[in-house]
A and B are shown apart, each in its own frame.
Chain A
Amino acid sequence: SQTIHQWPATLVQPVGSPLSLECTVEGTSNPNLYWYRQAAGRGLQLLFYSVGIGQISSEVPQNLSASRPQDRQFILSSKKLLLSDSGFYLCAWSVNGQAAYGYTFGSGTRLTVV
């Protein structure tokens, strides 16, 4: 069966420090991968998605970047965190090109920038 792993679960980082959040999927190949952010009391904001290795689409210009170095690995990064980067970050995967299957989400990372 397919599983999605996201870590760390919580993270407290000072302003100006770098960030690296990792997400991996098991039990499937060539998945679509997604990074979402939830700010406090707000909905889901799609940050990046990827349909293949090295293919990254950015939805919102910001202080973050994403990379997909391997088929089932998706990394969210920042060189210098801002206070506004605080939030709950969710990784998700879907079957490539199959909207009917929906998404499967990881358990999320709570990032607090101080």
Chain B
Amino acid sequence: AQSVTQLGSHVSVSEGALVLLRCNYSSSVPPYLFWYVQYPNQGLQLLLKYTTGATLVKGINGFEAEFKKSETSFHLTKPSAHMSDAAEYFCAAPYSSASKIIFGSGTRLSIRP
């Protein structure tokens, strides 16, 4: 079955520390992958996406993610966390039909001063 799995429902890091949010996908999904960010009481905003080409994808707000086919992973990283990064992050991938997208269960990122 197609699936997107986010490891860790809640991640807490200190301001200035490395952010690592994990996402694994089932190998049956098409090779398009997304990370979305949701701030409280707002809609989801596209952070970055992988479609084809370079496997290291850079997004907004200093985030990047690396597509690793051999590991079926698409982990999100940021070298130095900022207080404004506190939000919910969702990894996503399309179903094979291309009409729908599967979302992971989300990871809430908290930043400690």
Size of interface on A: residues with Cβ below 8 Å to B: 24
When chains A and B are docked, how far (Å) is the Cα of A6 from the Cα of B43?
Answer: 10
Contact with B along A50-88 (1 / 0, CB 8 A): 010000000000000000000000000000000000001
**Chain B interface, >50% SS class:** loop
A90 contacts which chain B residues (CB < 8 A)? Answer: 43-44
B41 touches A108 (CB 8 A): yes
What distance in Å separates the Cβ of A6 from its nearest Cβ neighbour in chain B?
Answer: 8
Cβ-based interface call for B92 (8 A): yes
Binds A, one of B15-23, B63-71, B100-108: B100-108
Instruction: Please tell me if the beta carbons of B92 and A51 are within 8 angstroms of each other in the complex.
Output: no
B51 at the interface (CB under 8 A from A): yes
Q: Is the CB of B99 within 8 A of A110?
A: no
28 A–B contacts from the bound complex (CB under 8 Å): A43-B90, A43-B105, A43-B106, A44-B44, A46-B100, A49-B99, A51-B99, A88-B41, A90-B43, A92-B44, A97-B99, A98-B98, A99-B30, A99-B94, A99-B95, A99-B101, A100-B51, A100-B94, A102-B34, A102-B49, A102-B92, A103-B44, A103-B46, A103-B101, A105-B44, A107-B42, A107-B43, A108-B42
